[in-house]
Amino acid sequence: MSHQSELISTDIDAYLAQHERKELLRLLTCGSVDDGKSTLIGRLLHDSKMIYEDQLAAIEKDSVKSGTTGGRIDLALLVDGLQAEREQGITIDVAYRYFSTAKRKFIIADTPGHEQYTRNMATGASSCDLAIILIDARHGVQTQTRRHSYIASLLGIKQLIVAINKMDLVDYSEARFEEIKADYQAFSASLPRAEFHFLPLSALEGDNVVTQSTQMPWFEGAPLMSLLEQIPINASRNLSDFRFPVQLVNRPNLNFRGYCGTIASGVVRKGDLVTALPSGRHSRIKSIVTYDEEIEQAFAPMAVTLTLEDEIDVSRGDMLAHSDNLPTLANQFEADLVWMADATMRPGTDYDIKMGAKTVNGRIKTLRSRVDINTLQQHPAPSLALNEIGRVELQVDHALCFDDYQSNRGAGNFIVIDKLTNVTVGAGMVSSSESGVNSSELATDHDLPAKGSHSHSTYVTQDERAARFGQRPVTLLFIGVSGSGKSTLAHAVERELFEKGHASTVLDGKTMRQGISSDLDHSAAGRAENLRRSANIARFVNDSGLICCAAFVAPTEHSRSQARAIIGAADCYVIYLNPPLEVCQARDPSGLYSAYTAAQEQGRSAAADPATITDVPGVSFPYEPPTDVALELDTEALSQADCVRQIWQLLRAEAVI
């Protein structure tokens, strides 16, 4: 075996240190069956002198019995080691090979091309930074070529080398190369953004694999090995969002409690403020421990043990993240799913959903659409069959922490496991972080319902509802003290929307107290709980396509933030009605102020007489002014028509109507 450094024979320690500092590139070969994937890997290893002499002798011997190259050495046998693979001349299982050059270390995965083994290809691609898409120059772009390209891009691989192989069988034709290149470019225009490199080669003959081909002088690009050594591979690595799924709580003695795991993304340093999810408890990193020493910082994908300064409850399956940069926490989300089982996917059936180190019970609630792999168009479908890909909505019994997969591969993937057979039947990538509540919006003392946890799951989509009603469904949250005109203005806006042909409804705090919230008092805590319950109803109203005009006192900033988190910050517009308190007391539409005054005059308290209302925001306890509003209206200085006009202008400016 030939090595790229003379240090191995003169200074083994220096060689090992040099080798350790090399950058590691994980890549895979994929494409349609018989495109030459295994042969290409064998040629890479052979021409870069990365094969031991006894290995080479064994391959030469096996080529006589199992080779497919007419008596010549069959380099595909280097990776096709299973007996069934050699008998059929195909790749069945994923085979990994390791090699290195002077510039980089490589782990290459040889994945099968048969449609039956697409799941193996998805498994091999899940940890790779680069994919080599093989295309047979005789046959051009095939269905499996499209499927593998789509899966590779779906899995977040940003660098793809499109290797048009077997150019020796088409007389090294430049015209044929350009024809296939144009065909692939037309298809790949619909793929998620990635960088494509097109390369003509012959794996069997070694053209453009390690050295420049003399048979194709018309191609001026670099050979494959040079590309592998030069292509940047850090673009897809997320070092900004620290995510640490806890795999084990290490408690060897009374003086040590550490949390073990592999950093999924980001960087962590001693002293960093972190939050444990889903509990929401905070602490600081006390130490970062590896197998042989304590270090000051760690980054993905290092396996470390973290200790915290505070004794908080952190268990296997929990996640640690920087407190100012938290993932989404939700029990319902959308994802792209690759179905990997012979049995058809069944929406509504319970499966085990494993995300990171946490496994929870869940179900595929709705299949939104299925991808036509030839056109990449999304179409409605009742189910997914083996190797099909679709957009699904999942619901789990316990909230999970995640990021959008395209922005953070380490914290946005999951697998679906059959509960009876314990077989992995699907691989998924979270497609939108908007389907949950961002953990930074959660109170630390209890969880909020996930946004979308009450969403309508029918075949009528939100886009279809918006098109039908000619509006974007949002909630107008009218807030202010009693007598500020919230309910009056909410009904006036509803009338204006109705007159203009829009669909809306009014959700009023007093009406809620006659039914769902009849058990609540008028204290700040009672009003906050009334608003929380109402926010879930407002979210349901929005999911049904309607604009919700909600009128609530909402005296605290915490309760308003909680409501916006449930409804969705982008879909909730706070309108603060702020006339002078004396005006509100003079109006006194509910008799709240007069009841309070009478109670004060008689020296009674709510404890002495529960029927008497003595909790009055702005009088008996402060009304916290909002810090983030879409509009602030003085309903004494402005007429009702003026207020409606300003709200209408807001709806126009925000493209709600």
- Quick one: what percent of the chain has pLDDT higher than 90? 36
d(CA 626, CA 578): 11
Q: Are residues 383 and 530 in the same domain?
A: no
Q: Are residues 156 and 283 in the same domain?
A: no
Q: Are residues 209 and 108 in the same domain?
A: yes
- Would 248 be classed as within a structural domain? yes
What does DSSP assign to residue 564?
Answer: H
pLDDT of amino acid 40: 84
- Would 449 be classed as within a structural domain? no
If you average pLDDT over residues 180-203, what whole number do you get?
87
pLDDT of amino acid 75: 63
557 versus 443: which is more confidently predicted?
A: 557
Burial 448-481 (b: 16+ CB within 10 A, else e): bbbbbbebeeeeeeeeebeeebebbbbbbbbbbb
Structural domains counted in the chain = 4
Helix (H, G, I), strand (E, B) or coil at 438: strand
d(CA 606, CA 366): 49
pLDDT of amino acid 117: 58
pLDDT of amino acid 145: 87
Residue 347's domain spans which residues? 328-441
Token pair recorded at residue 275: 């939050």
- Would 236 be classed as within a structural domain? no
Looking at 230, 258, 290, the residue that finishes a domain is 230
Distances (CA, A) of 624 to 255, 556, 581, 583, 619: 45, 5, 13, 18, 12
User: Is 609 within 8 Å of 502 (Cβ atoms)?
Assistant: no
Is residue 246 scored above 70 in pLDDT?
Answer: yes
Looking at 294, 322, 350, the residue that finishes a domain is 322
- Would 450 be classed as within a structural domain? no
d(CA 121, CA 94): 7
Looking at 292, 322, 352, the residue that finishes a domain is 322
Q: Are residues 312 and 370 in the same domain?
A: no
If you average pLDDT over residues 463-477, what whole number do you get?
84
Residue type, 531: L
Is residue 9 scored above 90 in pLDDT?
Answer: no
Report the CATH number at residue 252.
2.40.30.10
Single out the residue of 245, 244, 448 nearest to residue 330, CA to CA: 448
Q: Are residues 215 and 269 in the same domain?
A: no
| pLDDT (tens digit per residue) in 101-117 | 878 888 888 776 556 55
pLDDT of amino acid 152: 84
Report the CATH number at residue 567.
3.40.50.300
d(CA 67, CA 90): 11
User: Is 371 within 8 Å of 149 (Cβ atoms)?
Assistant: no
Helix (H, G, I), strand (E, B) or coil at 560: helix
- Would 453 be classed as within a structural domain? no
Task: Give strand pairing partners of 98.
Answer: 107
- Would 496 be classed as within a structural domain? yes
Residue type, 65: K
pLDDT of amino acid 51: 65
Task: Give strand pairing partners of 135.
Answer: 164
Distances (CA, A) of 339 to 370, 384, 385, 406, 588: 11, 7, 7, 19, 61
- Would 301 be classed as within a structural domain? yes
